[in-house]
Amino acid sequence: MTRYSIASLVRNAVGGHRHWPRAWRSPNPRRSYDVVVIGGGGHGLATAYYLAKEHGIRDVAVLEKGWIGGGNTGRNTTIVRSNYHLDPNAHFYELSLKLWERLSQELNFNVMYSARGVLNLVHSPADVDAAMRRGNAMRLNGIDAQFLTREEIARRIPNLDCSSRARFPILGGLLQPRGGTVRHDAVAWGYARAADALGVDIIERCEVTGIDIERGAVTGVRTTRGDIATRRVGVAVAGNSSRVAAMAGVRLPIESHVLQAMVSEPLKPVLDTVVTSGAVHFYISQSDKGELVMGGDLDFYNSYAQRGNLPAVENVVAACLALFPSFGRLRMMRSWGGIMDMTMDGSPIIGKLPVGGLTMTGGWCYGGFKATPASGWVHAWTIARDAAHPLNAAFTLERFAEGRTLDEKGAGPVPWAH
């Protein structure tokens, strides 16, 4: 692997940038692997990378039905944060944020982590109490949190309507200064390149069509590019987790729903932080290209279509204009949809499935992107040790039957059909 540096940049600039080597190989699948990871998004690539890096397991294939990062990794709104209340979520997402903070150095690939802060607006006295309670819980867990008054918010974000005449008057907000954004494509490419350099085979255009099981344990996977023998399979296909688990005869507490996001035309810098509001369910930030990136609620019906309908788009835009009236003259440039694994308690499922050698990381609801590094890290641990790490011990599939659901307000809503 060519190490990216100022020297390599200058060298290639002299050559007119025509001689950069491929960032990762394009191998044909072999007949067998020690571990097969299904899904070449951020979570699957991170799983493969940490298997090779942390556990020395390099005989790994990542199977991707489309292309690297072409699914939900490239469809989110790039926000990262760890502002959770319950301990299992807080510790897990805080590991993720710590990994984000040094990921560019770790991967030798600029993922453009920008600690621009994530601000949750509050609009009622009850919201204020809940935000302070969550902020205190975060600080007790060693996570940065700061309550801002309406005056402080008005000073920091001048185009936010903080007046008492606003449709949803702003009473304050909970800020996580280390939260921010990360360039999502670079995450997939960076993990792919680093995993490939450690010997992982990344196989694109290779769809898994079946999972072979003998005496209750995995023996291989069937794909559109041939059968592959393996004793360990990690599933990282959020949005389609139910379909892949069904290949192994496992039913999951998940519904697939479409979530839309959209961007405006690019404009000069107007918003230097991430602003979210739970009351109107809306989040917005400005990309490095200048587009305003925004999203809101699900369309609220089962879907695998990767596109939604206009009422959800209208809700997002209406929420945007209620908070930022000055954006009213902007034109929206494009919108898109991604398919979410909506679990029945709003928290993910990371761990062993009831088939020998089969594990999954999924069930991310609205929030999979920010979890990418920690998801791969604990998933790799679970595959390598055949046991959960303390940080994913609470995210079992069995928690639903055992009455240990992690239902947390502020962790992302739960599906309608609860």
Partner 1 sequence: MMLIPCPYCGPRNQVEFTYGGDATLRRPAVDAPPSSWIDYVYLRDNACGPHDELWYHGAGCRSWFKLRRDTRTHDIIASAAAGEPLDGARP
Give the interface with partner 1 as residue ranges (CB under 8 A). Answer: 240, 242-243, 246, 251-256, 300-305, 309-311, 344, 400-401, 415-417
Please state the closest distance from residue 309 (CB atom) to partner 1, in A.
Answer: 5
Distance CA 407, CA 404 (A): 9
Please state the closest distance from residue 258 (CB atom) to partner 1, in A.
Answer: 9
> What DSSP element (H or E) covers 376?
helix 372-385
Produce one character per residue of 13-33: b if its CB has 16 or more CB atoms within 10 Å, e if not: eeeeeeeeeebbeeeebeeeb
The burial of 176, by beta-carbon neighbours within 10 Å (0-12 exposed, 13-18 middle, 19 or more buried), is given as buried
- For residue 374, how many C-alpha atoms fall within 13 Å in the half-sphere facing its CB? 31
What torsion, rounded to 10 degrees, do the Cα atoms 399, 247, 366, 51 define? Answer: 80
User: Residue 45 to residues 128, 232, 372: CA-CA distances in angstroms?
Assistant: 39, 16, 9
Nearer to partner 1, 149 or 405 (CB): 405
Distance from first CA to last CA of the chain, Å, rounded? 48
Nearer to partner 1, 248 or 252 (CB): 252
Nearer to partner 1, 187 or 319 (CB): 319
Please state the closest distance from residue 247 (CB atom) to partner 1, in A.
Answer: 12
Nearer to partner 1, 20 or 304 (CB): 304
Distance CA 276, CA 282 (A): 6
Nearer to partner 1, 168 or 400 (CB): 400
Please state the closest distance from residue 253 (CB atom) to partner 1, in A.
Answer: 4
Please state the closest distance from residue 318 (CB atom) to partner 1, in A.
Answer: 13
Please state the closest distance from residue 246 (CB atom) to partner 1, in A.
Answer: 8
Would you state the structure tokens that stand for residue 266, as one six-digit string? 């690019």
Nearer to partner 1, 97 or 339 (CB): 339
∠ CA 381-387-390, nearest 5°, is: 75
Q: Is the dihedral of CA 234, 193, 385, 225 positive or negative?
A: positive
Distance CA 337, CA 77 (A): 11
Nearer to partner 1, 60 or 238 (CB): 238
Distance CA 376, CA 373 (A): 5
Nearer to partner 1, 63 or 254 (CB): 254
User: Residue 130 to residues 84, 135, 277, 317, 413: CA-CA distances in angstroms?
Assistant: 12, 8, 13, 26, 16
Please state the closest distance from residue 77 (CB atom) to partner 1, in A.
Answer: 23
Distance CA 83, CA 86 (A): 10
For the chain, what's the residue count? 418
* CB atoms closer than 10 angstroms to residue 302: 15
Nearer to partner 1, 20 or 301 (CB): 301
SS3 at position 344:
coil
Please state the closest distance from residue 343 (CB atom) to partner 1, in A.
Answer: 9
Nearer to partner 1, 135 or 296 (CB): 296
Please state the closest distance from residue 43 (CB atom) to partner 1, in A.
Answer: 19
Nearer to partner 1, 293 or 411 (CB): 411
Please state the closest distance from residue 82 (CB atom) to partner 1, in A.
Answer: 27
Please state the closest distance from residue 400 (CB atom) to partner 1, in A.
Answer: 4
User: Residue 170 to residues 159, 277, 411: CA-CA distances in angstroms?
Assistant: 13, 10, 21
